[in-house]
A and B are shown apart, each in its own frame.
Chain A
Amino acid sequence: MLKLLKEIFRTGEATVKYPFAPMPVCKDFRGKPEHKAEDCIACAACTVACPANAIGMETDTAAGSRTWSIDYGRCVFCGRCEESCPTSAIRLSDDFELAVGSKADLTRKAVFTLADCACCGKPFAPAKEVDYVARLLSQSARSAEEADRLRLTASTCPACKRAQDVHHIADMGIARQMTQELETTP
Chain B
Amino acid sequence: MFNYKKLGILMLVAIFVATFALAAYSQKKYEDVTVTVVTESGYQRNSAVMAKNAWEEEYEGEIEIVTFPFGELYQKIMTTFTMGQAQFDVLIFPSGWMGDFAGGGYLEPLDKYLAEDEDFNMNEVMPIFRDRIIKWAGKTYSLPYDGDLHNIVVRTDLIDNPEYKEQFREEYGYELDVPETWKEYRDIAEFADGWDWDGDGEEEHGAAEAMQKGTQSYWMFLSRAAPYMAMPGQPGFMFDPETMEPLVNKPGFVEALKAYKEIQNHGLPGALNVNVSDVRDAFAAGEAALAIDWGDTAINASTLEGSEVQGKYQAAMTPGTKKVWNRKTGEWYEFEKFPSVNHAPFLAFGGWTAGITKHASNKEAAYSYISLLTGPEHSLKAVTTAETGRQPYRQSHFASVDEWTRFGFTDPDKEYLNAVQRSLSYPNSRPDLRIPGLQRYYDALDAQITRALTGELSPRKALDNVANRWEQITDDLGRERQLELYRQSLGLSPKEE
- Report if A and B associate in a common complex: no
Point out residues on A near B: beta carbons under 8 Å: none
